[in-house]
Structure 1
Amino acid sequence: MPVIAPTIFVFDHLTLEERLECYEGLAERVQLDIADSNFSAQPTLGVDVMVAQPTILKRDVHLMIAEPVEWLEKCREEAIDLVIGQIESMSSQAEFKKTAQGLGIKWGLAVDLETPLTDLDWQVAKEADQLLVMTVRAGKEGQKLDQKGLDKVKALRQKGYNREICVDGGVNEATIIRCVKAGVDVLAVGSSLSLAEDVVTAWENLQTKIKGL
C-alpha cells in the first residue's frame, strides 16, 4: 500500500518541534522540506537545524537548495534515512549519486513541475532509491495539484521505471486516489494535514481513501 509521508516546511524552530510531535503519533515517516531563496520567497529553516531535531520518525530530507551534494555528509551524521536533491540545483546528478553511495546513505532525485523528464540523467535515476516528482512548483505549500506531474509519473511507469516514486504538492482527499492510480508509492502531504483543524481526522481520512482502492 502507498505510504503517506507528512511534509514539514517551516520557518521557525518551535513549529518544527510541534509538527514532529504531532506526526509522531500518526506517521512512521516524514519529509523535511528545506528550501533556499532560489525556490522559496521565504527560505525555510536551514539544513543544520532541520536535520538535528530529535524524533522517533524516519526522516526523508528534500533539499531545494544550491548544490545539495554539499549537505550529504551532514545528513549522514544525523542518521537521515533518505536524502532527495532537486536536479535543477545540481551541477552533476552523477556526483550526487556517487557521493551518497560513498557515504552509504539512501538518495533520490527530485524533478520540479516544469522540468522535463529528459533533464534527468537516466543512468543515474534508474539507480535512485526514490524519484520525487513535484506536482506543484517547488518551494511553496498550499498549491493545487497539477496534472502535468502525474502525467510524468505515468510516463515513467510506462517506460518501465520500477524504483520508488513520490509525488509532492497538492495531495489531499480529493486528489490522493488519482496519485495512487498514476503509480505513486509515496505521497508527500503538506497543508492538507498541517492546516487541518483536526490533524488526526485528516490523516485517517487520507488513509481510508487509499485503503479503499
Structure 2
Amino acid sequence: MGIQITPSILTADFADLGAELARIPSSDWIHVDVMDNHFVPNLTFGPRTIEALSNATSRPIDAHLMITDADRNAAAYVEAGAASVTFHVEAATAPVRLAREIRSAGARASMALRPATPVDPYEDLLPELDMVLIMTVEPGFGGQKFLDLCLPKIRRARELMDKHGVETWLQVDGGVSLETIERCAEAGADVFVAGSAVFDAEDPDAMIAALREKATGAADRA
C-alpha cells in the first residue's frame, strides 16, 4: 500500500474549496473533519459538503466523524459519497456493528481514538476495521502542536496489527509536519493527515511530496 498523504480541508479556504483541491493534485485522499459542537467544541461540515466535494474531485473522501451519535449518522456520510468513514470509539455505542454497517454500505470503516484512549482494549476489533486513526492532538481544532506522548500508542497499534496479521491501515492526525512525520512513520503509521502543513505552504502539492518523501524514508529505515 505504501505511504499515503491525506490533506485535511479544515485549514483550507472554505470560500473556494474547489480551488483548494486543485492545489493538491497528488494527494491520496481528501480528509474532511465533521464536527458537531458536542463531541468536540467546534462546528464544521455535514453530508452536503461531502457530497459536493465528492462531485468536485476524483480523489476519495475520508470523512472523520467527530460527532456524538456516530451509530445513527455514519451511514449518511457513505450515502453522500465518502469512501472512508471514521467514527470515534468514545462516541460509538456498538462499534463492531457500526463498522460492519459502514463496510456493507460500500465504504472503508475506520475507528479513531483520542490521545488519552488506549488501543489495547480494542484489539479484538481490528479484523472489523480497514483503518485505525490515532489522534495526535485533542480533536476539535486545526493547527495544534503534535503530542509526542502518542508515539508509544502508534507503535502499540502497529504491534497489534502485526500480531493479528490484518491489513488495517494506521492513520495519524494532528500536528503532522516535516518535523513530526518521520517519528510517526518510524512508529508504524502509514496514512498521514496534514492540514496546516499543507495548506499554509507556498506550494501545497510540493509539501505533499516532501511529506511523502520524509515518511517513506523513515518507514524504510524502520
After TM superposition, the score normalised by the length of structure 1 is 0.88
Q: 1:36-89 CA deviation, whole Å, 9 max, x = no partner?
A: 112443311223323332211111111111222323332332332111111111
Q: Please list, as runs of the form range in 1=range in 2, the aligned pairs for 1:58-77 lying within 5 A after superposition.
A: 58-77=60-79
2:200 matched to 1:195? yes
Deviations 1:154-213, CA, capped at 9 Å, x for gaps:
112223254211000111001111111100110111111112233233223213323434
Q: Is the 8 A contact 1:10 1:16 kept in 2?
A: no
Change in CA separation of 1:126 and 1:150 when aligned onto 2, cut-off 3 Å: farther
Match of 2:174 among 169, 176, 201: 169
Task: Please state if 1:18 is matched with 2:19.
Answer: yes
Q: In structure 1, how many angstroms separate the alpha carbons of the residues matched to 2:60 and 2:103?
A: 19
CA change 1:99–1:176 in 2 (3 A) is same
Greater share of helix: 2
Q: Does structure 2 conserve the Cα–Cα contact (< 8 Å) formed by 1:39 and 1:138?
A: no
Residue of structure 1 in register with 2:87 after alignment: 85
Shift of the alpha carbon at 1:143?
Answer: 1.1
Deviations 1:79-117 (A, max 9, x none): 321111111111221221232233232211000111122
In 1: Cα distance, 2:51 partner to 2:131 partner:
19
Mean Cα displacement is larger for which, 167-176 or 77-86?
77-86
Who is 2:118 aligned against?
116
- With normalisation by structure 2, the TM-score equals 0.85
Moved more, 171-180 or 95-104: 95-104
Partner of 1:96: 98
- One-letter code of the match for 1:126? P
Provide closer, same or farther for how the CA distance between residues 12 and 170 of structure 1 changes in structure 2, counting only shifts above 3 A.
Answer: closer
SS at 2:77 equivalent? helix
Q: From 201, 207, 211, give the equivalent of 2:212.
A: 207
Percent identity for Structure 1 against Structure 2: 28
Q: How large is the RMSD of aligned CA atoms in angstroms? A: 2.2
Equivalent-residue separation in structure 1 for 2:93 and 2:12 (angstroms): 27
Give the Cα–Cα distance (whole angstroms) in 2 for the partners of residues 46 and 104 of structure 1. 19
